[in-house]
Amino acid sequence: MKVLVVDDFSTMRRIVKNLLRDLGFTNISEADDGSTALPMLKEGSFDFVVTDWNMPGMQGIDLLKAIRADANLSHIPVLLITAEAKKEQIVMAAQAGVNGYIVKPFTAATLSAKLDKIFERLG
């Protein structure tokens, strides 16, 4: 399974990559914002996107909307891992078609649980 981790902070990308590797995901690529991520998604056959919300350039929520609007990408599950914690934003993400929402700071157990849930739903 090919995973794209999108976050503007390299340390957070590294944390997420380590946790994902522990959970058995070994094919992981990185991008530092939505506008870098989108062309990568269009070119490569990614199966899963983990993204931050608040990034310079293209925000995670806009990346999610762009993925859902693109017929070739719309099937890709997207997990938001973000410090953004306004209820209105969580509703916004749900309406945009997010598959999971993790609020920072988070734990390895939370990530594992959300991934299980996402892939269980997808079957």
Partner 1 sequence: MSVDTGVHVSLEEAKLLVEYLETGQQEKADELIAEIQNPINSELFAEIGKLTRQLHDSLNNFQLDSRLSDLATADIPDAKERLNYVITRTEEAANKTMDAVESIFPVVDTIQKQIKAVNPLWQKLMHNKLDLPEFKSLCIDIDILLKTTDKESVRMHDLMTDVLMAQDFQDLTGQVIRKVIDLVREVEDSLIGMLTAFGISPESSSEPSKPKFGENLVEGPIVNAAQRDDVVADQDDVDDLLSSLGF
Q: Are 97 and 68 in contact (CB under 8 A)?
A: yes
**Closest distance between partner 1 and the C-beta of residue 94, in Å?**
5
| Residue from the set 1, 14, 39, 108 that interacts with partner 1 by CB under 8 A | 14
Stretch that binds partner 1, among 30-38, 40-48, 70-78, 94-102 (CB under 8 A): 94-102
Q: Are 66 and 105 in contact (CB under 8 A)?
A: no
Stretch that binds partner 1, among 13-21, 26-34, 41-49, 70-78 (CB under 8 A): 13-21
Assigned token pair, 58: 């293209």
Stretch that binds partner 1, among 25-33, 41-49, 57-65, 68-76 (CB under 8 A): 57-65
Interaction of residue 66 with partner 1, rule CB under 8 A = no
Interaction of residue 62 with partner 1, rule CB under 8 A = yes
Task: Provide the Cα torsion 60, 32, 40, 14; round to 10°.
Answer: -100
Q: Which helix (H) or strand (E) holds 90?
A: helix 87-95
**Closest distance between partner 1 and the C-beta of residue 43, in Å?**
26
Interaction of residue 40 with partner 1, rule CB under 8 A = no
Residue 41: CB atoms within 10 A of its CB come to 22
| Residue from the set 40, 73, 103, 118 that interacts with partner 1 by CB under 8 A | 103
Distance of alpha carbon 31 from alpha carbon 87, whole angstroms: 27
